[in-house]
Structure formats: structure tokens, C-alpha cells
Amino acid sequence: MKKNNKFKHKFFLIFYIFILSLLLCKSIYSELETINGSIGCNKLSVELKNDYKKDNGFKINNINKLNRSISSDILTYYTFQKSLASTEKNFSEVKIIGVSGLYSKFHMLDLKKGSFINSNDNQKKNYVAIIDDKLAKKLFKSENVIGLKIKLYGKDFTIIGVKSTQNNLIGNLFKKELPNVYMPINIINEIKGNEFITNIEYKKGDSYLNKKYIKDRILEAGKNNSAFDIKDYKIIGLVAKQKFDILIFIIGIFAIYRLIKLTSRILKSIIFEFKDELKNDYLKHIIKTNKIKYLTNSLKIILVLFIIIILWKEISFRLYIPSENMPKDIFSIKQLFEIIKLNIREFFSYKKTYTVLEKEYLSLLLRLSTIIFIIGLITEIFLIFNITKKINIYFKDNIEALSVYAIHFLGAITLSNVIIYLLGLSIQLELIDFLLLWVIIASIILSYKKVHKI
């Protein structure tokens, strides 16, 4: 009995971990969309790698040449410098980010006060700056700094906005980052000369705008394309989004399998009883005396089939596999293992680029998402294999099993949402997801014969 109870506790602990993994996958995808501003994941970014000097970056004439061959109306580009920010009383080393006018469409800015740099600020070369809340407190002992002056490159800039820094458990991993100051890129070019641009981002409109196409255009613009890390966020977004879908699909398919077995069991029971009674009675009399029972069983089958159809509709999705992860020969085990090795190597090798803090935060989230997805898969497989073996040990019937699972399901959902909130992520569980999950779990439990205690 003690051994059984120990396994029961272990089983429900793993159940809680599975629910948490499932909901975290969805929350991380939502964060990915949010961080990438109003454009969301519908973009492609070009970032200069850290192991290349900045003079491998783009000049304005390179950007113009690229834009002539890339038909994207919405783009942004930016660069970085370290400098000193000062007031009459205080100073601080800062990371200056020179941005073009449409930067705010590609990035979540989370402004506490004021506004961000726009195209007009770049065209008129306005000496304006946005500082983060940490720098505001350090230099002015307050966040109410709109309209005040800050000295950068020996010149006065008017503060027009205060940006919030990442203030959650995951964002706190980047506390060592220098305070950020944003200014129009044209001002940096005016003060420092024609500065090298390290980052470009394009909104994806046409299907041809992919990594290979961008690499070829970079080469045509006279730059070394291997110096840049090119990310297609549409692909990154699709892969991140389907992690939740895959986990739901697997347990959903198992529920459908159990319901098909239940339907088969009901049909076999009807046929067996009918054949047995046919030996001793007339067909007409059998139907007349058992019509309520046959009608009830028929309604059960219709209900189960209806649930199967609804489940399939809700769990089915279009699986996306990036072309680089597809072997040329799908039957080649060698090619498949090479792709797996390449993906594992890529996961553990961190490509450092000239980038903003939000992108580093995003990169960490995507790595965590992969780890969480693998944990979700492992716990899901454990649950599927063990629920069939252990359900009859702990519960006297299906109703008792259903009530216990309902309590643990609500507990797992509540605890998972609390953890997600504490991590600083948004809670993304919708009512339809909640109902779908419960229908799947309830279907699996109710599909078993009435269980008995051992």
C-alpha cells in the first residue's frame, strides 16, 4: 500500500509538471509576439556577429543598396555605442542605441512616460533621447525627467521618454547590462561621422524574403554575409507556437484512441447480448423488450463519436518543419541523425551578436521554451503509459477517479498560472484551452471499464 501511495504522489507531481510545461509553452510564445512589437513575428532580422569588428557592418549607402532589391516598405536599422551620460551632478556609463524612425514598430518599448523617437526626429535631426528608468533614478533620483536635459557626446539632449527595464525573474538575469539610451541614428552619424550600422530588421511581406535571399543581397551590397546572423522570426514564431499544439495533439490522440476503444466495447457488448438472447427468443420480441437499452447504448455511441469529432477538430493543426530540418532523403537514417546533431550543437552554441537587451531576453526564453517542451513531452509520455496501468489501483470507480483528477487538474492550472505570473510572463490560458484539456482528461478516465480497488 505504501509503495502504491508513493507512486500515486509521484504520478500527480508529474501531472502538475506536464500542465505547467504546457501552459509555459503558450506563455513564452505570447511573450515572443509581444517583444517583437506591433510587427510581431512577421519579420526578418540581420545582426552583426560579436566576433566581427563593427566596420563589417553597413554604411547608409549599403542600406540604400539593400533596400532597392528588398521590397519591404517597413524596416528599421540601428547601431550601438558605449558613452558617458551626465547631468550637472551625476554621470554614468551607458549603452547608446541609435535608431531609425520605425524602430518602435519592431520592438516592445514599454514606455513609462513620454514618447519614442519617430521619423521626424531623424529627418530634422532633433537632439532627443529616451532613457531607461534605472538611469533616470541614477542621474536625477526620479523618473519624472521628461523635458530635462542630459549630456551625451558633450552635447545637450532633451529627454522625451522613460523606458521600463525588464523587471521579472527572467529579466533580472540581465541586470549587469549598462543603462540604455536611445537617440536618432542621424544624430550619431552627425556627431561621430558615418557610423557603421550593425542591425537591420525587415517586415516580411513577400514569400521570397528569406534568409538565403537576404544573404545574397548582402553579398551584392559589398558585405561579407557570413559576418551576420540572420533570423527569420516567422519560422521562429511558427516553431514556438506549435510546441503547445504538439503537446495537446499527443494527449488528444490518446484520448481519441481510448474513446474508439470505448465505442468498440459498447458495440461488442450490444452484439454479444443480442446474439445470446437470439438463441432463446424471437428477434421482434428481443427488440421490443430491450429497445430502451439499445437506444441508450446507441446514444452513448453517438455522443462518443461526437466527442471524437470535436476533439479531432480542436487538436489538429498543420505541423511546420523548417526546410533545413528536413533530410533530402526522408528514409536516410544517417541524414536524420546529422540534422539532430546539428540542432543539438546549435542549441548549445550561443551566437553572440550586437543586439538589444530584449533580443537577449528573447533568445533565453526560446532556449527555455525548448527545454520546457522536452520536459512536457517526457512527462506526457510517462502519464500516458502509466494512467492505463495504475488507474484501477487507486479508485473504486470512474466517478471517484474523475473527481480526484478534477481537483488535481484545477490545482495544477492554478499553481501553473501563479508560477507563470511570478516569472513575469502573461497568463495565456483561454477558456477553450481549459475546456479542451479537461474534456481530454475526462475522456481518458471515463473510457475505462469501471475500476476496482485491489
Domain shared by 188 and 53, yes or no: yes
Give 197's contacts (C-beta < 8 A, 6+ positions apart): 57, 58, 59, 60, 62, 63, 77, 78, 79, 185
- Residue 65's pLDDT band, with cuts at 50, 70 and 90, is confident
Distance CA 175, CA 200 (A): 26
Domain shared by 53 and 26, yes or no: no
Distance CA 422, CA 435 (A): 24
pLDDT tens, position by position, 328-358: 666 667 666 666 666 666 666 656 777 777 7
Count of other CB atoms within 10 angstroms of residue 438: 15
Measured on CA atoms in the order 401, 407, 410, 416, is the torsion positive or negative?
Answer: negative
Does a structural domain hold residue 386? yes
Do 385 and 7 meet the contact criterion of CB atoms below 8 Å apart? no
Domain shared by 267 and 416, yes or no: yes
Give 345's contacts (C-beta < 8 A, 6+ positions apart): none
Residue from 242, 254, 257, 259 nearest 382 by CA: 254
In the prediction, which pLDDT does 300 show? 84
Pick from 196, 214, 235: which residue ends a domain? 235
Domain shared by 302 and 169, yes or no: no
Does a structural domain hold residue 94? yes
State the chain's mean pLDDT as an integer. 83
Q: How many independent structural domains does the chain possess?
A: 2
**Which range of residues forms the domain containing residue 88?**
41-235
Domain shared by 302 and 423, yes or no: yes
Does a structural domain hold residue 453? no
- Residue 19's pLDDT band, with cuts at 50, 70 and 90, is very high
Does a structural domain hold residue 454? no
Instruction: Give the range among 12-21, 150-159, 380-389, 444-453 with minimum mean pLDDT.
Output: 444-453
Domain shared by 76 and 184, yes or no: yes
At position 21, the amino acid (one-letter code) is: S
- Residue 54's pLDDT band, with cuts at 50, 70 and 90, is confident
Q: Considering the entire predicted model, what is its pTM?
A: 0.84
Does a structural domain hold residue 216? yes
Domain shared by 170 and 120, yes or no: yes
CA 37 to chain centre: 15
Distance CA 111, CA 129 (A): 13
Residue from 315, 325, 322 nearest 245 by CA: 315
Distance CA 56, CA 65 (A): 16
Pick from 217, 235, 253: which residue ends a domain? 235
- Find the radius of gyration of the CA atoms of the chain: 30
Domain shared by 73 and 203, yes or no: yes
Does a structural domain hold residue 254? yes
In the prediction, which pLDDT does 62 show? 85
Strand 128-132 relative to strand 155-163, pairing: parallel
Cα 276–281–286 angle (5° rounding)?
A: 80
Pick from 235, 254, 273: which residue ends a domain? 235
Residue from 376, 385, 434, 425 nearest 16 by CA: 376
Domain shared by 214 and 271, yes or no: no
pLDDT average, residue stretch 45-69: 86
Does a structural domain hold residue 77? yes
- Residue 288's pLDDT band, with cuts at 50, 70 and 90, is low
Residue from 184, 147, 182 nearest 165 by CA: 182
Does a structural domain hold residue 451? no
Domain shared by 322 and 440, yes or no: yes
* Grid-cell match 550601438, residue found: 80
Cell, residue 213: 535571399
Domain shared by 126 and 28, yes or no: no
Domain shared by 73 and 187, yes or no: yes
In the prediction, which pLDDT does 452 show? 37
At position 264, the amino acid (one-letter code) is: S
pLDDT tens, position by position, 250-260: 999 999 998 99
